[in-house]
Amino acid sequence: MTIFSALRSPLSRSLGRWRAPLSAILVAGIAGTTVAAVGIAPLLPDPAALPRRLVEQAIEPRGIAQQLDALAALELPLQRSTVTRSAESLESLLGRLGVVDSRAGAFLRRDPQASRALQGRGRKLQATHSVDGGLRRLVVRFAADGDRAGTHFQRLTIEPSDSGWRTSLEVAPLERQVRLASGTIRHSLFAATEESGLPDSIAVQLAEVFSADIDFHRELRKGDTFGLVYETLTADGEPVTWGDAVGRVLAAEFVNRGKIHEAVWFSGSDGDTKGAYYGFDGRSRQRAFLASPLEFSRVTSGFAMRMHPILNTWRAHLGVDYSAPQGTPVRSVGEGKVEFAGRQNGYGNVVSVDHGHERSTLYAHLSRIDVRKGERVAQGQVLGSVGATGWATGPHLHFEFRIDGRHQDPLEIARTAETRDLDPGSRIRFAQVAGQLKPQLDIAETLASRRNAFE
């Protein structure tokens, strides 16, 4: 017999002797619980047996005249918002806000702080006023000064006081918000982005991101779609675009003629803000040359044969003409060294940049030149401004790209230029960033497709 068998036999005999008493105790406990429940239930009152009482009371409504007097005495403050315009008078600005208050107008003209705050384009205004137009509160939001211009904003509050009016100026941090947007091309890219409620700065970035893959002047088709995740800077919840306070496209997809183009912003392994756009596969979208020396603009003459506007003869047009307002900044499409900066016959004011490996670019008809011969320039650096010098019928930029002295199509050069891929140390962090943005981009694309399905 094992030690377990020896122990089990006395234990079994003991349990056997107590089996009957234990069973009785358990049954009695269960029965007692049941009896207690049955005994408590009848103590609850029956709702049907409760007494009922009907209360009647006559209510006399106020007369119509009294109600109208009460409404007239009720203070109903109204609130309106707007944005300041260039060279706009104070009367016009207050009129758009619904303010009719001569005392407030006189103070805004007289007070130096208030007068300065209302000058300039793009300042956010919010006015609270009474039904008769009396100003109750005016808040002006505008860019901060100095080093905090891109991270903070100023809030000037103007309110009535016992002695007239009081002002208070605060500096507060701008807040970052991530938003989704999508759209479908009907007529033009900017018409679609405006319909989607995108800020102009974000629309320009969207065009810039895919400019090397899509010729937005010639290859855009009705029905093309886009979706994007973008960051916007806000002042008290309102998006701002003044100064350096501009948000960024974080991820985007553009479907052009059935082909999908994607991009995601990545700032690098060290958190450097000088990041770049990559595909979701980690391949860089930033090429050695930009597709255009101007931010998204209208091409008036492509790289082809054309009727010369002045000589009135058919000639090969060995460059691209960009129609743009006088003074529009002109940037270098790639890094290099300025080999010429000055006046050159029909080109007018011109800048030529040597990019190495027998590659060079030329920028003509400039109204102003901002670089000197021999100066090193970076990709995107401003070289001068659009003008109409030389043989030009109006303000525009003439741009040429040459390889070994022969003219090339700038867009084709940009499309085939070399790219830089991620280093192995950055790929893990990039995968995390891309993994967070991809679901949000999918949601934006879904919104676009659903909207199209109902149209």
How do residues 408-440 score in pLDDT, each as one tens digit?
888 788 777 767 677 788 888 999 999 999 999
Q: Is 236 exposed, middle or buried (0-12, 13-18, 19+ CB in 10 A)?
A: middle
Q: What is the pLDDT of residue 451?
A: 61
SS3 282: coil
- Segment (H or E) for 108: helix 102-110
The count of C-alpha atoms lying within 13 angstroms of the C-alpha of 432, restricted to the half-sphere facing its C-beta, is 7
What is the DSSP code string of 147-164? GGTTTEEEEEEEEEETTE
Within a 10 A sphere around the Cβ of 313, how many other Cβ atoms?
7
The count of C-alpha atoms lying within 13 angstroms of the C-alpha of 241, restricted to the half-sphere facing its C-beta, is 12
Q: What is the pLDDT of residue 239?
A: 84
Tokens of 404: 């070994």
Q: Which residues of the chain have pLDDT under 70?
A: 1-45, 243-244, 268-274, 296-318, 418, 420, 448-455
How do residues 21-79 score in pLDDT, each as one tens digit?
444 443 344 444 333 333 334 455 677 777 888 888 888 777 888 888 887 777 778 99
Domains and CATH numbers, the chain: 75-172 (3.10.450.350), 176-286+422-453 (3.10.450.350), 298-416 (2.70.70.10)
Q: What is the pLDDT of residue 343?
A: 95
Model-wide pTM > 0.85: no
Contact 274, 248 (CB under 8 A): no
Contact 149, 171 (CB under 8 A): no
Q: What is the pLDDT of residue 69?
A: 82
Contact 348, 396 (CB under 8 A): no
Q: What is the pLDDT of residue 80?
A: 93
Phi, psi of 374 (to 5 degrees): 90, -10
What is the DSSP code string of 26-91? HHHHHHHHHHHHHHHGGGSPPGGGS----------PPPHHHHHHHHHHS---EEEEEE--TT--HH
Q: What is the pLDDT of residue 30?
A: 40
